[in-house]
Structure 1
């Protein structure tokens, strides 16, 4: 049914641009025989509607609200139901964030990533030691950032944002979600935090699946380049913001 031609019909025989008038003949509904209980209910309801000589029109009704425009957000919220805002949302769904990094951060906040301690809990036979330092047990809290390797990366990146890095996951998360709102330093800090999480997890997976290894300096340079590219991508839309962020980032080199 990809064509928009006026005479194109669906496999049900209904014209592509059919309106309600298509189902009305001589002022009466001309409905096909019902083949299910739901169709019977629809046909019964239609017989209660008074037909008028007006153009067809429609509205979207969600709960007790109606609108002429369809909004996916409203439909999603209606289907999901109301939930209170979690305290960490501001650290996960960040302004101008990179979607894949925001989503991975969400998985780590919920402790849903397949770290080795979780895999062992599922009954899988796997070594428990961290793939980055080969010292501690690989857990979410160890990777972020009790592991000496990952903390070395985070410590270097946090210093660029004037943050005092800590190897404790809970303390770091609280720090990220209590950063001052609308601060350029806060914007950089959240980007860097999520980029560090993403780089560490990617390095961990590369060592596991490809047997390739990168140094701390290599990851730090990669994160630095990614932040520069992120800031530069803002220039076409907000030159002043891009310049301010670049100046702030370069000033901490």
Structure 2
């Protein structure tokens, strides 16, 4: 490096050239990002010294400086449960951030489509509406709450998952039943929305509730401990 590139320049002044090696190009890119933030070589050098730990350079400190810190997702641990079907986990994670291609998200990206909820056909499709306030969605959530024997519960998936993480008996199989039901419901709401838009297929609330229960029960009964298997069958009302 010194013999070929830094004979007359320092790492702070060497210009970017197309013939440079990939490692040098990456180093210069990182250097420019530091200089842009620090505004001077002296300040950049001081910043580099702050990334040391016990006299040694700390990659972790540099990484935390470069990355964009994001808020902690308090509901995320609730989705890492063996009773949750993997595809339901992935979809629910995308839905709760929210990163799904809802019509309002598409509009923000410059894709203009007539925005109307395909489920209730009376409101704009937004994340909050689709998964919480839509009249069709609320009937699904209330049906699931009845099955779970829960009363006066929120129909907001984020609030529900956060509530799961604060329960005292978070490792009990019934808590896993609740988490699995939340993920399965979110998945089926999105799946029903897509079925109506792209395939012209509509299902009633009763049909979706039955499908959610079958998916959740099948998953639980394949993974629940044998000691509580009979209890689970009776409580789930599944045969």
TM-score over 0.5 for the pair: yes
Task: Work out whether 1:155 is the aligned partner of 2:142.
Answer: yes
Which residue of 65, 83, 89 corresponds with 1:102? 89
Task: Work out whether 1:177 is the aligned partner of 2:165.
Answer: yes
C-alpha spacing 1:220/1:208, structure 2 compared with 1 (3 Å): same
1:19-62 CA-partner distances (Å, limit 9, x unpaired): xxxxxxxxxxxxxxxxx999xxxxxxxxxxxxxxxxxxxxxxxx
1:114, distance to aligned residue in structure 2 (A) = 0.6
In 2, Cα distance between equivalents of 1:150 and 1:90? 24
How many corresponding residue pairs?
Answer: 178
Which residue of 172, 193, 217 corresponds with 2:182? 193
Counterpart of 1:192 in 2: which secondary structure?
A: helix
Q: What RMSD in Å do the two structures reach over aligned CA positions?
A: 3.1
Counterpart of 2:89 in 1: which secondary structure?
A: helix
Give matches, 1:35-114, under 5 Å: 86-114=73-101
**Matched-pair contact (CA < 8 Å) for 1:231–1:246:** no
1:60-118 CA-partner distances (Å, limit 9, x unpaired): xxxxxxxxxxxxxxxxx9xx979896311222222332111111111112100111111
C-alpha spacing 1:176/1:141, structure 2 compared with 1 (3 Å): farther
Which residue of 125, 128, 138 corresponds with 1:141? 128
Bigger radius of gyration, 1 or 2?
A: 1
**Matched-pair contact (CA < 8 Å) for 2:221–2:232:** no
C-alpha spacing 1:37/1:132, structure 2 compared with 1 (3 Å): closer
In 2, Cα distance between equivalents of 1:148 and 1:124? 26
Q: Which runs of 5+ in 1 are unaligned?
A: 1-35, 39-76
**Which is bigger in relative contact order (C-alpha 8 A, separation at least 6)?**
2
Task: Work out whether 1:166 is the aligned partner of 2:145.
Answer: no
Determine the structure 2 residue equivalent to 1:209.
198
In 1, Cα distance between equivalents of 2:236 and 2:157? 24
In 1, Cα distance between equivalents of 2:158 and 2:216? 24
Determine the structure 2 residue equivalent to 1:228.
217
Determine the structure 1 residue equivalent to 2:16.
none
